[in-house]
């Protein structure tokens, strides 16, 4: 998340960017939009994985958010259980050299599939409506996983 640009709204708080705090927090403005630059080197379908933390305890879930890239838009809602393979969380924990996330829990959601042509894109992340709790979520990464082309 530290390779992103804040396009609109109030900037979420940047933590240390290391280990347990490698996320943006205090995302409480529904108009906030963060943007990454993405380069596609070949025509490919991608599964989009959203990796984020939620504070432990009575933190509200179900807030909706959008990921846009090119002409594709995917909408999802925050959960506690996640819908993606646990390996994405394990990989992040290993990459950050931590064994737990402290006062938060990490979630990996598979939010859909997009198709990209060769070229440069902007990938944006933003709220898809009112934020019910103190904050939307604490995003860590958006992961684009190549989807194998079906065999003829």
13 or 138: whose pLDDT is higher? Answer: 138
**Element at 104 (helix H, strand E):** strand 104-116
pLDDT per residue over 91-138, tens digit each?
A: 888 888 887 777 888 999 999 999 999 999 999 999 999 998 888 998
Average pLDDT, the chain: 86
- CB-hemisphere CA count at 13 Å for 69? 26
The DSSP output letter for 16 is: -
pLDDT per residue over 37-60, tens digit each?
A: 999 999 999 999 999 999 887 787
* Owner of token pair 């379908």: 45
Tally of residues, the chain? 152
The DSSP output letter for 118 is: S
pTM to 2 decimal places: 0.86
pLDDT in the model for residue 13: 67
pLDDT in the model for residue 26: 87
Cα–Cα dist 115/70, whole Å: 9
Cα–Cα dist 75/148, whole Å: 23
């Amino acid at each position: 998340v530290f390779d992103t640009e804040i396009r609109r709204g109030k900037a979420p708080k940047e933590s240390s960017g290391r280990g347990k705090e490698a996320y943006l927090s205090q995302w409480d403005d529904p108009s906030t939009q963060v943007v990454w630059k993405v380069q596609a080197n070949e025509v490919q379908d991608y599964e989009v994985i959203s990796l984020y933390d939620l504070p432990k305890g009575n933190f509200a879930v179900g807030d909706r958010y959008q990921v846009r890239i090119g002409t594709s838009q995917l909408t999802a809602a925050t959960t506690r259980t996640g819908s993606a393979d646990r390996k994405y969380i394990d990989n992040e924990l290993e990459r950050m050299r931590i064994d737990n996330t402290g006062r938060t829990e990490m979630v990996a959601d598979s939010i859909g599939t997009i198709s990209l042509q060769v070229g440069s894109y902007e990938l944006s992340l933003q709220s898809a409506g009112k934020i019910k709790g103190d904050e939307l979520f604490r995003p860590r990464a958006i992961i684009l996983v190549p989807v194998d082309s079906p065999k003829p």
